[in-house]
Amino acid sequence: MQDSLMSEERALFSVFLRMLDENALPAEIKELIRDGHWAQGAVKHVIDRHVAIFAQMEDDYLRERVADLKDLGRRILAALQEDDLSHRELSNDSIIVGEEISTAALVELPVDKIAAIVTSEGAANSHMVIVARALGIPTVVGVTELPVTTLDDVEMIVDAYQGRVFINPPRRLRQRYRDIQKEEEQIAKDLKQYETKDAITPDGVAVRLFVNTGLMIDVVRGVQRGAKGVGLYRSEIPFMLRDRFPGEEEQRAIYRQQLSHFANKPVVMRTLDIGADKDLPYFEIEEENSALGWRGIRFTLDHPEIFSSQIRAMLKASVGLNNLHILLPMITSVSEVEEALYIIERDLAAVQEEEQVKINRPKIGIMVEVPSVLLQIGEFAELVDFFSVGSNDLIQYLLAVDRNNPRVSSVYSHFHPSVLRALQRLVQECHKYDKPVSICGEMAGDPLSAILLMAMGFNTLSMSSSNILRVRKAICHVPMVDAQTLLDEVVKMSNPLIVKSWMEYYFRHHGLADMVKSNRIVNA
């Protein structure tokens, strides 16, 4: 192999080999493992320590070794994680425990065998957690004192409502949680009656509930639970499951599946949204602050060949179905939309010419995630057909909270008065320009906040399939007049905890106490 490598590549391999010498990093890692550290944790600790040391060095060459160290650490951790997860037989009711679980690793696991996920790092609004919620997996993240090295084949109870993990629980505690589990099963059984009901308030106002998808299991559950369409198809998920960028034909087949399962219903496909906490294993993006960096439309417009391939695949997949809507993520400026529209129009003409078929122009929308968009709705309304709020990122940017940082994730709240007021004004602006507006973040899947969104006038609420029945039940029990009164009251409040408590009080006193429990994914 040495002969076929360029000199720079040989130099890099030489650096790796020296670092992996028995007397270098491996010795330190082994020492930590002997002291009781988990293998992955030991690797990360040693790599991080050396990265910090090298970053402070004055010598340019040595400082440049930081990237090599990080690269080496990623390779070792990826190998360990693949060995731990992909190549391991899981029994029924397995609890996945680790320092951190990537989205790509999660979606490759046998979901039907996973009872829960517990990690020592991460936050309740990370992308992995959002996917776990979509799969209906109870998850607790940010358990800082998690003794991961001693938990193999150990009985555990994971209470994802309260963010608690019990190791080797006593008999009385096990019985208590068995009773809670029976209550949960009864609630789930009661909710099944809402699979065939429409989301209509007692005073006759209908609300469209869509499903967020990425995996086929989301589609199946969404159809089963009566979703009226797909409000957000996460097109990055198929990219995460491969070791290379999928080709145009591969993408076409995947998109066709999504579109055909919801024939005659709208399917909103978001173009590739990587970056921040959504990395591709074969295209890593190293940035100091990835949440504010090269992601979403910024990445795809810098790589028009990737964007064009995806648009062409979507257009081809829509032939004969005509239910495709295209959603552009992480939009900041009007010029980004203009550039994206130029590519879409060009590709639409090219595909029709090549395939000799008539393809209806899909509706084009933008995600409202960056706060600056809130102030330019009029200009964007001249270019696009609809707006879709990505509440997870919008809240993060409005409140200046890193939703992947467990230290500050408690500040992140969709009940924050500024969030509610901003969304209320957004809906008013969209309706002023006669543009439909939907919301597809986690906020839409919480029955408490869904009622407020309904009162604001959102045309569509889109959520994980696991939340559809809960939200539908809430809508069927809360009159629109009550929802609007609640909204008028809470937007005048100044504390998000008081807002949430006010909503919980209403639910408990109107026969919806079982809807008050928080999502089964929390920070410990």
45 in active site: no
Residue 263: CB atoms within 10 A of its CB come to 11
Token readout for 90 is 């899981």
C-alpha to C-alpha distance for 436 and 434, rounded to whole angstroms:
7
| Residues 200 and 476: beta-carbon distance below 8 Å | yes
C-alpha to C-alpha distance for 213 and 221, rounded to whole angstroms:
10
H-assigned helices in 108-233: 127-134, 171-191, 216-224
Q: What is the 3-state secondary structure (H, E, C) of 76-139?
A: HHHHHHHHHHCCCCCCCCEEEEECCCCHHHHHCCCHHHEEEEEECCCCCCCHHHHHHHHCCCCE
440 in active site: yes
C-alpha to C-alpha distance for 109 and 235, rounded to whole angstroms:
19
Structure-derived torsion over alpha carbons of residues 316, 320, 323, 327, reported in degrees to the nearest 10: 10
Contacts of 359 (CB under 8 A, 6+ apart): 315, 318, 319, 348, 351, 352
Options 37, 325, 430, 440, the catalytic residue = 440
Options 127, 325, 414, 416, the catalytic residue = 127
H or E segment and range at residue 326: strand 324-328
- The residue whose two tokens read 């890692």 is 29
Residue (of 389, 391, 412, 393) closest to 124 by Cα position: 412
Amino acid, res. 501: S
Contacts of 64 (CB under 8 A, 6+ apart): none
H or E segment and range at residue 425: helix 417-432
Token readout for 236 is 């990055």
| Residues 129 and 107: beta-carbon distance below 8 Å | no
C-alpha to C-alpha distance for 343 and 309, rounded to whole angstroms:
10
Active site residues: 127, 440
